[in-house]
Amino acid sequence: MESPGCEQRIAKVSVAELLRCLEHPLSEEQAWAICFQCCRKIEQLAHSLPLRSVFVKGSESIFIHADGTASFQVYDRKQNAWTELK
């Protein structure tokens, strides 16, 4: 049975929400796929933005998109707000 709020068609989902909706641990293959997509996103950000570092606060800050790519929600000290690094 799916948890309340677990939609079938969504554009992106946090890893925390994904785990809650699956109601079981990720397989090793799924975990490696998420790690790979996160590494690809970090590499992409390193070449496109003047960032010194990206701090991922937790699984609620990592988003997996419908196409399998990853993005991060980070805190921007200059704007004093959370922003998504797509």
Q: What is the pTM of this model?
A: 0.74
Tens of pLDDT, residues 18-52 = 999 998 899 999 999 999 999 998 888 878 766 66
Map the chain to HEC letters: CCCCCCCCCCCEEEHHHHHHHHCCCCCHHHHHHHHHHHHHHHHHHHHHCCCCCCCCCCHHHEEEECCCCEEEEEEECCCCEEEEEC
Domain boundaries, the chain: 12-85
Q: Above 50 in pLDDT, residue 1? A: no
